[in-house]
Chains A and B, each alone.
Chain A
């Protein structure tokens, strides 16, 4: 069965601090996709990144970076120099490799960035 675990329920940091959100996943599929989404108070899901299971290259996009390690089944997300606007709930998610994109979400991590 597929499962996504985000052990951190809430994280509170002060602006300009770096913060890492953890994500551990379980799947028996060899082909799968991992995602991170941001959900601001409005509720809409904001897509941040998609990674397929064959691409372990880490990625950096501005202040955001992702570390994908198949050996530990982890897909962690780091925000560098956090800002108040980063305050939101962040979801790590896992989709099957069949192209259907039935998505299993982690419980989410609520990030508070204080000025």
Chain B
């Protein structure tokens, strides 16, 4: 069956350093991979997505890398700030007719001031 999982449950990073959050997936048929950020008491917030025919995509301070050979996804956050502290979920979606997003269990990012 399909699954999306994360390597580390908690990541502590010094403010100003770069953060890398990793994710493994098992469904080779996934068309899209998405990173969400969830702060305490809030719903998940879309950060960035990447199609399966790409291996890298950049946003504002964030970069997502996709390695389909080893079914690995990562989110890089440059110059991590205290406001980046949250739980980060990788998720996958097929390009089917409906908006089912399959989430992993999440990585908690703690930014040390």
Partners in one complex: no
Measuring CB to CB, which residues of chain A are less than 8 angstroms from any residue of chain B? none
